[in-house]
């Protein structure tokens, strides 16, 4: 068998071998929804990163509130999942900062917390929902999918 060349053009993959050129597949160009996970607990970040990848999301992580603000501006995530209690800039402070910033006032934000949070407290904070630690995986994924475009997580 001779040399084989593969290239992509206009969302299609072509293979050249010997004296023929064959179209082999149409590439589906779908972007995965970016989920920013903010937590000062590294094992939680690693767990969330692996879990979110498994369910078709693109996880981005931040270990502090300040890092979260940088990542939101840089990556423009579909959803932010943030720990409520962090040293330095707390999750509450990050949510308030994002809500005050033009362009991010409608960004879906879910609070990760070890304690239940009332709907009135969530509303006062400016968050869209809460995920209790330890979290139920099905509930977490369902909440994330509720805030991301359906065609991206199919």
Distance CA 124, CA 68 (A): 21
Given this model, what pLDDT does residue 77 score? 95
Residue 118 φ then ψ, to 5°: -70, 160
Mean pLDDT over all residues of the chain?
82
The pLDDT, as a whole number, for residue 128 is 94
Percent of the chain's residues with pLDDT above 90: 56
What's the pLDDT score for residue 80? 96
**In this predicted structure, what is the pLDDT of residue 10?**
53
Q: Which one, of 88, 141, 80, lies nearest residue 112 by Cα? A: 80
Quote the pLDDT of residue 40: 93
pLDDT given at position 25 = 46
In this prediction, the residues of the chain whose per-residue pLDDT falls under 50 are 1-7, 21-29, 151-154
- Span 99-116, pLDDT tens digits: 998 888 889 999 998 888
Question: Given this model, what pLDDT does residue 71 score?
Answer: 95
pLDDT at 17: 52
* C-alpha span between 45 and 71 (Å, rounded): 15
């Amino acid at each position: 068998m001779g040399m084989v060349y593969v290239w992509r053009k206009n969302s299609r993959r072509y293979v050249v071998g010997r004296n023929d050129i064959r179209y082999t597949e149409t590439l589906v160009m779908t972007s995965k929804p970016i989920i920013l996970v903010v937590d000062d607990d590294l094992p939680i970040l690693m767990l969330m990163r692996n879990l979110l990848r498994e369910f078709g999301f693109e996880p981005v992580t931040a270990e502090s509130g300040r890092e979260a603000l940088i990542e939101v501006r840089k990556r423009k995530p579909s959803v932010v999942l943030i720990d409520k209690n962090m040293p330095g800039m707390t999750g509450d402070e990050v949510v308030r900062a994002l809500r005050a910033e033009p362009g991010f006032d409608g960004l879906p934000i879910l609070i990760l917390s070890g304690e239940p949070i009332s709907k009135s407290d969530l509303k006062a904070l400016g968050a869209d929902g809460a995920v209790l630690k330890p979290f139920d995986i099905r509930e977490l994924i369902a909440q994330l999918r509720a805030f991301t475009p359906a065609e991206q997580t199919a």
